[in-house]
Amino acid sequence: MAIPAFIPVPLLLGAAAFAAIAYLVLLFSGGRNDALRDAVETYAAETDEPLRKDAIDGSFWDRILGPVVGILTGVLSSTAPQEIRGKAVEKLAMAGNPLDVSTFLALKLISFLGIPLAYVAAVLLSGQRLGLLQLGTIGVAILVGRMLPDVLLGIVIGGRQKTIERGIPDAVDLIVACVEAGLSLDAALMRVAERMPGPLADEVARALHEMRLGRQRRDALKEMATRTGVASLRSLSQTVAHAEQMGVAIADALRVLAEDMRTKRRLKAQEMAQKAPLKMIPVIVFFILPSLFVVILGPAAISVFRLFNS
């Protein structure tokens, strides 16, 4: 039977060659496929039931919404420049990594676009027109959406840095006591990570983990100071590095550092105490004095008003 003219002969030859090669491959790889099938069945028999149970018992967020949100945040954050991503990584590290960088960048983009669009939608749904006032409000909404994630993250960073700053003198005293008792510096740092819960203990534990992986102590401590952005930790890392280089006893160097930190903390407390009266003046002027005027002069004003009316 002749081949119709509308069917290309090279296409038929290519399909036949592909079918022949696929048949030969399947024929000679049957034993290997059986071995792979047995391995897969053995692995599936061990792990399929827990995975199936997790898929059934997991929440709706874990099974459906979580993966979808993860994909969306990855797509949204992939549009950010490398410089912005690097700054976000540094800020999140200072905050203790409450979010991953993809989620944070996605939230910034959603905040930057979502707040103005929500206001525009509210204006249009209310039947108003976009006048100068509405356009100015949209500009303010854009600025708020742009700055809001960074402001909230800055508040978290400030609180975490203050907590670390308060705990450093006590941590240094504990390190000095442990070193004088005969422990090594790494063991003293481990005691700090175990007995002082909080962000400082978390950072020290991370530095110890980096040391176990082969990083030098001074580099791990320097990275910890850079990661947290706390000046006292930077002083601690520099003190340890100088003591190791100069051969000075670490306990003596840390004791001097602890005294210096306590002096700074005392001076800081005195400074805050001296600023307290200045901070109380606006509260007194705008909140306390008006209420006093109302309580003291209110009855007299009522009496005068009644006198003139009579």
pLDDT in tens, 89-141: 889 888 888 888 888 888 888 888 888 888 888 888 888 877 888 888 888 88
Question: Cα–Cα distance between 108 and 150 in angstroms, integer?
Answer: 8
Domain regions of the chain by residue span: 76-159, 161-266
Cβ atoms within 10 Å of 80's Cβ, excluding its own: 19
Output b/e per residue, 281-299; b: 16+ Cβ within 10 A.
eeeeeeeeeeeeeeeeeee
Cβ contacts of 171-180, under 8 Å, gap ≥ 24: 171/196, 171/200, 171/204, 172/236, 172/254, 172/257, 172/258, 172/261, 173/258, 175/254, 176/251, 176/254, 176/255, 176/258, 179/250, 179/251, 179/254, 180/251
Residue from 94, 84, 250 nearest 183 by CA: 250
Over pLDDT 70: what percentage of the chain? 75
More confident residue, 240 or 22: 240
Q: How far apart are CA 225 and CA 217, in angstroms?
A: 12
Confidence class of residue 263 from pLDDT cuts 50, 70 and 90?
confident
- CATH 1.20.81 for the 161-266 domain, yes or no: yes
Q: Return the number of other C-beta atoms located less than 10 Å from residue 117's C-beta.
A: 14
Instruction: Tell me how far apart the alpha carbons of residues 72 and 127 are, in angstroms, rounded to a whole number.
Output: 33
Each residue's pLDDT tens digit, 5-63: 444 444 444 445 544 444 444 444 444 444 445 544 554 444 444 444 454 556 655 66
What is the CA 287 to chain-centroid distance, rounded?
38
Q: What percent of the chain has pLDDT over 90?
A: 10
Q: At what angle do helices 250-283 and 132-180 cross, to 10 degrees?
A: 150
Here the tokens at position 47 are 């792990």
Instruction: Please compute the mean of the pLDDT values over residues 195-210 and round it to a whole number.
Output: 89
Q: How confident is the model over 285-297, as a mean pLDDT? A: 87
Quote the pLDDT of residue 110: 83
Instruction: Give the sign of the dihedral formed by CA 185, CA 169, CA 164, CA 88.
Output: negative
What backbone phi and psi angles, to 5 degrees, belong to 182?
110, 0
Tell me what pLDDT residue 100 has: 83
Overall pTM surpassing 0.85 (yes/no): no
Residue 58 carries which DSSP code? S
Average pLDDT, the chain: 78
CA 53 to CA 59: how far, in whole Å? 12
- Banded pLDDT at 285 (limits 50, 70, 90): confident
**Residue 256: CB partners within 8 Å, gap ≥ 6?**
none
Quote the CA–CA distance of 291 and 134 in Å, as a whole number: 37
* Closest-CA residue to 237 (of 252, 225, 228): 225
